[in-house]
Amino acid sequence: MSVRTQPGPRERLLEAAHQLIYSQGVNVGVDALLKAANVARRSLYEHFGGKDGLIVEVLRSAAAADDADYRRTMDAAGDNPRERLLAVFDRLGEITATPGFHGCRYLAADLALTDPDHPAHEITRDYRRHVHDLLERELVTLGHPRPERGADQLLLLIDGTLAAGATRPGTDPAAAARELAECVIAP
Amino acid sequence: MSVRTQPGPRERLLEAAHQLIYSQGVNVGVDALLKAANVARRSLYEHFGGKDGLIVEVLRSAAAADDADYRRTMDAAGDNPRERLLAVFDRLGEITATPGFHGCRYLAADLALTDPDHPAHEITRDYRRHVHDLLERELVTLGHPRPERGADQLLLLIDGTLAAGATRPGTDPAAAARELAECVIAP
DNA sequence: ATATGTATAGACCGATCGATCTATCTACAT
DNA sequence: ATGTAGATAGATCGATCGGTCTATACATAT
């Protein structure tokens, strides 16, 4: 009967990479990742095959967490699709105001990994399509005339909010986007 | 009386870096830049002091060119502020559809240069404020009730368009943003 | 003709990159 | 007790990084 003293090297590495890759970018060195996770060099290659594999798993788990965050946010807003969608932008207001926030990790990864064949792009693409569908579903139940286009617009507002939150802090981009989101919801 | 055969090393380096840094990111190697520009290693340090100095000058000249592009686009649309602002999004439609487009170079630079003291950030910040003022001026002459907030929203739409153009090609984000820009212009 | 500017070519520096390797240690199952 | 799997520590690899250096070529101004 042993006490679970600390997570295994795989979990430690994932968590450390989650934070370090966000704060330092995907070009952060392997040494820095290993040191932050307090993990042996070999464990990285055993569990993830290499740095690229680690990057992919970090994005995959981050996407799962962010998806859960979207659902939690919308569910907490009740059943009204309008309120559920607007709640997303209130949540974005919290996220962009969080200390250490500096933009969308998926966009940062896409822009930094210039090789179009890097497997990370598939993760980010799937994640965006997933969020798009999440938004579109709400618009459908709202009776929106063009739910797919509407979801495009909401996703564009989300990306714009995260970009502005990173590059023009203090301008409350989430509130600005929320106003425009109302135009999307009630066209 | 000699024929101007080719620009000097400074101009060649700026032009090559303009293209290579956009396509490969700011982490592109110095060797690649020198080879693309066909310039001696020493010339880089003579003219720009180092790679960081080159990055800054590339962003500065790109900002000047993009500023001119905004003005040209708006002037070509006539005197009506509404038409002048909407023309920006039509232009974004062209830009995002251009082969080789993969996002906003200024946002990419900000996300890739994780050192907050890097001089490049000052260039991008000034450029955004400049574009913001450009948009705000049109809203003022339009009699917009909150021109500053409106310009925030238009800038957010621009950033969202460039992000979506890079990450979700084929969704015509410029047209989606143009619809929302109409909400901003006629609130 | 000569001196000066600026350019090129390329060796060279220490540091760091991602990745592979050996060797050792430990926890656990048999 | 022993074997096995997984973990750690760290040496080492070739490649590349940004930056400095020497040596040479060439244009122009004096």
Q: What is the pLDDT of residues B112-125, one digit of tens each?
A: 999 999 999 999 99
Any domain includes B91 = yes
Q: Identify which of A185, A102, A91 has the alpha carbon closest to the alpha carbon of residue A138.
A: A185
Q: Is the CB of A7 under 7 A from strand D?
A: no
Determine the average pLDDT of the residues in B166-181. 98
Q: Tell me the pLDDT tens digit for each residue of B40-58.
A: 999 999 999 999 999 999 9
Crossing angle between the packed helical segments B173-185 and B81-97, to the nearest 10 degrees: 160
Q: Do A73 and A108 sit in the same domain of this protein?
A: yes
Nearest residue to nucleotide D19, by CA–C1' distance, is: B50
Q: Do A115 and A178 sit in the same domain of this protein?
A: yes
B91, B157 contact by CB (below 8 A): no
**Chain B interface mutation, best of A110, A180, A185, highest count of B Cβ atoms under 10 Å:** A180
- Å from A49 (CA) to D11 (C1')? 21
Any domain includes B11 = no
Determine the average pLDDT of the residues in B168-182. 98
d(CA B163, CA A163): 8
Handedness of CA B159, B160, B165, B166 (dihedral sign): positive
Where on strand D do bases come within 7 A of a protein Cβ?
Answer: 6-11, 16-23, 27-28
Q: Do A81 and A153 sit in the same domain of this protein?
A: yes
Residue-number span of the structural domain to which B118 is assigned: 56-185
Give the per-residue pLDDT at A72: 98
Any domain includes B134 = yes
Give the per-residue pLDDT at A5: 63
Q: Do A82 and A19 sit in the same domain of this protein?
A: no
Give the per-residue pLDDT at B64: 98
CB atoms within 10 A of CB B152: 23
Give the per-residue pLDDT at B6: 80
d(CA B135, CA B129): 10
CB-nearest to A153 from B110, B167, B176 is B176
Give the per-residue pLDDT at B2: 37
Q: Which CATH number fits the domain that encloses residue B169? A: 1.10.357.10
The answer, yes or no, to whether residue B11 has pLDDT greater than 80, is: yes
A166, A103 contact by CB (below 8 A): yes
Inter-chain CB proximity A157 and B161 less than 8 Å = no
Q: Which CATH number fits the domain that encloses residue A14? A: 1.10.10
Any domain includes A123 = yes
Any domain includes A117 = yes
Any domain includes A2 = no
* DSSP secondary structure code for residue A168 in this structure: S
Q: Do A113 and A63 sit in the same domain of this protein?
A: yes
Any domain includes A161 = yes
Any domain includes B143 = yes
The answer, yes or no, to whether residue B3 has pLDDT greater than 50, is: no
Q: Do A143 and A90 sit in the same domain of this protein?
A: yes
Determine the average pLDDT of the residues in B145-151. 98
The number of folded domains in chain B is 1
* Residue ranges in chain A modelled with pLDDT below 70: 1-5, 187
- Å from B47 (CA) to C11 (C1')? 22
**Chain A interface mutation, best of B152, B167, B172, B184, highest count of A Cβ atoms under 10 Å:** B167
Determine the average pLDDT of the residues in B75-95. 98
Q: Do A22 and A45 sit in the same domain of this protein?
A: yes
The answer, yes or no, to whether residue B4 has pLDDT greater than 80, is: no
